[in-house]
Structure 1
Amino acid sequence: MSGDGEARAAARGRHTRLPPRWVIVAFWHGHRALLRASGGRLGLWRPRPGRWGTLRLTTTGRRSGQPRQVVLGYFEDGSNLVTMAMNGWGPAEPAWWLNLQAHPDAVVQTRDGARQVRGRRASGEERERLWSRWAEIDVNLDDYAARRPTETAVVVLEPLDAEPGG
């Protein structure tokens, strides 16, 4: 595995090809529609070694106060779920991440059921460790991230039922 510097240097050269933005957006809408139409039976899967899973995150709208849902890729880090605030590698921050910053308590639905979580941005050594885990799953991670004008947030969703120390 190449170091961060090498990966970023490669990212400045030839970019890994992404589908057009309209394809990415259409896929998101189709995935959410499948999840809705199937009553949650299709569209969510557990992460496996070397693969991410999908979850449905319900946040509270920062302006509307209404529930907002999005389907995200994730992996498990102990009892925490980890995702990226990447917006399909577009330049803008995803709305769900802005909502989560304003109202950190949310609900995630996985294949294993629903749970209350609190979202936060990973930083420092934790961010580097979690970013490296994503890079093991997606070898193009640094290349994709280099397309964004700001650092991509690594988001940790911590279960609310797990109290510190017990």
Structure 2
Amino acid sequence: MAAVPSNSTTAWLVLGEVARLRKGERVLVHAAAGGVGSQLGQVARLLGAGQVVGTVGSPDKIEAATAFGYDEVVLRDDLPGAVAGLTDGRGFDVAVDPVGGAARRASLDALAQGGRLVAMGQRLGRGRRRVQRERAVVQRQGRPRLQPRRAER
């Protein structure tokens, strides 16, 4: 019997293939204490990220996310006011958002000029949980430009 480490594989594909992370870039990861989030921070390090910052939804998750190797972990709701201090006013080169909603807007606002947003995974919507097959890279060059991935047959 064989096993495939799906969270690690997902993290590698998201950062290496979709976001095309380059050495020295600053990375923001939402849901840093979750399954994929626990791997995204570590993979970002392996790929040479210069700074890796995670967000979590509640204070009790900060310690767990920090143990996964993030340079800083902040509460998701506090991110908008913390970006300038975390990045010396430059913003993040890559943001990975499996959360959606307000986190998506915060991710776009946190990007540096030319930064990339990878939107992935599930999202809550209108009080009920729904799965959203959304894989997109947003490049911020003056204003965001959405490039959805082609539907697979």
TM-score (norm 1): 0.29
Task: Tell me which structure has the larger Cα radius of gyration.
Answer: 1
Bigger relative CO (Cα 8 Å, ≥ 6 apart): 1
